Amino acid sequence: MDRREIKSNFLTTTVESAVNWARKNSLWPMPFGTACCGVELMAVLAARSDIARFGAEAIRFSPRQSDLLIVAGRITIKMMPVLQRIYQQMPEPKWVISMGACASSGGVFDTYSVIQGIDQFIPVDIYIPGCPPRPEGILDGLIKLQKLIEKEKFSDYSLPNSS
Amino acid sequence: MFLQNLITKVTEQFSDSILDTTEFRGETVLHIKGECVLEVLEVLKSEGFHFLADLTAVDNLEMGGFERYSVVYHLLNHGNGERLVVKAYVPENNPNLPSVESLWKTADWQEREVYDLFGITFDGHPNLIRIMNPDDFKGHPLRKDYPRIGKGERKDFPIVERNIGTKIGRSES
- Model confidence at B164, pLDDT cuts 50, 70, 90, reads low
- Regarding an ipTM greater than 0.85, the answer is no
Cross-chain CB nearest to A114 (options B154, B160, B166) = B154
pLDDT bracket for residue B171 (50, 70, 90) = very low
Q: Could you please state the CATH topology (level 3) that the domain comprising B2-148 is classified under.
A: Beta Polymerase; domain 2 (3.30.460)
Residues A53 and B3: their CA atoms lie apart, in Å, by 65
Beta bridge mates, A129: none
Residue pair A116/A158 in contact (Cβ under 8 Å)? The answer is no
Closest Cα in chain B, distance from residue A88 (Å): 8
Which pairs from A49-53 meet CB under 8 Å and 24+ separation? A49/A135, A49/A136, A49/A138, A49/A139, A51/A138, A51/A139, A51/A142
Residues of B with CB under 8 A from a CB of A: 132-134, 137, 141, 146-151, 153-155, 157-168, 170-171, 173
The Cα–Cα gap between B111 and B125 comes to 8
Domains of chain A: 27-151 (3.40.50.12280)
- Check: CB of residue A86 under 8 Å from CB of residue A129: no
Q: Which residue of B has its CA nearest to A118?
A: B159
Q: For the CA atoms of A148, A149, A151, A154, what is the dihedral angle to 10 degrees?
A: 140
pLDDT in tens, B92-120: 898 999 999 999 999 999 999 999 999 99
The whole-number pLDDT of residue A61 equals: 92
CB distance B170–A113 less than 8 Å?
no
Identify from A97, A112, A159 which residue to disrupt to test chain B contact, counting B C-beta atoms within 10 A and taking the largest count: A112
Residue B169 confidence (pLDDT) above 50: no
Q: Do B149 and A111 touch (CB under 8 A)?
A: yes
Where exactly are the structural domains of chain B? 2-148
Alpha carbon separation from A79 to A31, A75, A83, A118, B133 (Å, rounded)? 14, 6, 6, 11, 10
pLDDT at B172: 43
- B82, with CB counted inside 10 A (0-12, 13-18, 19+), is middle
**Tens digits of residue pLDDT in A126-151:** 999 999 999 999 999 999 999 999 88
